Amino acid sequence: MKLFASAAETRARFSLTAFLRRYGTLVGFILIVLFFWIQRPQTFMTIPNWVNISRQMSILGVVAFAMTIVMVTGDFDLSVGAMASLVGIVAGTTFQSGGSVASAVTLGLLVGAVGGLLNGVLVAAVGISAFVATLGTLTVFRGLALYISGGASIYGRTIPAEFSSFGRGTIALGRIGETDLVLPNLTILAFITLVLVFIVLNFTIVGRRLYAIGGNMEAARFGGIRIRRLRLLSFVISGLGAAVAGLMLFSRLSTAHPTQGEGLMLQAIAAVFLGMTLSEESQPNVIGTLIGVLILGVLANGLTQMQIDTYIQQISTGVIIILAVTLSSLSQQQGHFGRWLRRLFRQSPADSS
């Protein structure tokens, strides 16, 4: 009986472990796609279905891409779902008051920016932990949405047709065989957000400084980085992302409800966590977040096609979060993820500007 593994076997085992830690999320995504392709060969791997997936996940994508910027700095934003709901209600009441599409959109974006600014002040200036601060503002935003709407949905003739049609509209790209190739407006908006966040994080000084803050805040401070200002900016961007998502959701459904965006928060966190496993240092990155969004979208779409109960989808989302956090922790227990997780739940002193 062989009691000890050879050096070659040990190296191979460690190489396989390292590969799974680095690319496990991507491999998981491919396996999920193959599974549903086998289960539903006639309907899953089709152009219309993938167009539908992109439309369904575009709203989550906008929230998750903006959330990535906040999590790069080592912070957290639990309020994005409630903010999306509040913005939808604000836009709906603007329409009820006779406001135009431009005024409703502008006011909604302003509400998102102000909400993000509030989160940033509480976290970066006051020194409250991001978890506690955004949990508090989540409750505030939810309460405001319920108060303004009276707990009722906003829909009907007061919503301009051009606003409602945008969320369901598409741009024709041609035909492939007998299939019309179209691109939903919401998918285009999510793609634009993805590109902007990718450029900011990877090709600008601001992005490098955001990563420096998330990697080692003390070192970033001694390096002359304006930590307070950049953390505050990241929360404003997150608030704007939630506002855009709220407007997209309102436009797609032609209905604004005071709680309709609350599911976005958990899914956005799951998507960013999944993306963190694709980085050597377990850092948030927007391309990884995109893979996380696609995993959630494909999973929801495939389970729906298989007529699996929606409660099972919620369970699967929770399991995905646990697996993503576990993979990130195993990948770099003493690196960025470890520092990020430790700082998440403790109160941090106000950072110098």
Number of structural domains, the chain?
1
Residue 162 within a domain: yes
- Residue 172 dihedral angles phi and psi, to the nearest 5°: -75, 135
Q: Computed from CA positions of residues 175, 185, 54, 44, in that sequence, does the dihedral angle turn out positive or negative?
A: negative
CATH assignment of the domain containing 323:
1.10.3470
Three-state secondary-structure class, residue 172? strand
Residues in contact with 320: Cβ distance below 8 Å, sequence separation at least 6, in sequence order: 270, 274, 295, 296, 299
C-alpha–C-alpha distance, residues 210 and 26, integer Å? 25
Residue 266 within a domain: yes
Three-state secondary-structure class, residue 171? strand
C-alpha–C-alpha distance, residues 288 and 127, integer Å? 29
Residue 59 within a domain: yes
- Residue 275 dihedral angles phi and psi, to the nearest 5°: -65, -30
Q: What is the pLDDT of residue 4?
A: 45
Q: Around Cβ 84, how many Cβ atoms within 10 Å?
A: 33
Q: What is the pLDDT of residue 334?
A: 45
Q: What is the pLDDT of residue 78?
A: 94
Q: Around Cβ 315, how many Cβ atoms within 10 Å?
A: 11
Residue 273 within a domain: yes
Strand ranges, E, within the chain = 170-176, 179-184
Residue 16 within a domain: no
Name the CA radius of gyration of the chain, rounded. 21
C-alpha–C-alpha distance, residues 141 and 115, integer Å? 8
Give the H/E segment covering residue 179. strand 179-184
Q: What domain range is 29 assigned to?
A: 24-341
Residue 15 within a domain: no
Residue 172 within a domain: yes
Three-state secondary-structure class, residue 44? coil
* Per-residue pLDDT in tens (0 to 9) along the chain, 353 residues: 444 455 555 555 556 566 666 677 788 888 889 999 999 888 899 888 999 999 999 999 999 999 999 999 989 899 999 999 999 999 999 999 999 999 999 999 999 999 999 999 999 999 899 999 999 999 999 999 999 999 899 988 889 999 999 989 888 887 777 777 889 999 999 999 999 999 999 999 999 999 999 888 888 888 888 899 999 999 999 999 999 999 999 999 999 999 999 889 988 988 888 888 776 667 888 999 999 999 999 988 998 888 887 777 778 777 877 776 666 666 555 445 555 555 555 555 445 44
Q: Around Cβ 59, how many Cβ atoms within 10 Å?
A: 25
Residue 347 within a domain: no
Q: What is the pLDDT of residue 180?
A: 74
DSSP annotation of 128 reads: -
C-alpha–C-alpha distance, residues 112 and 242, integer Å? 7
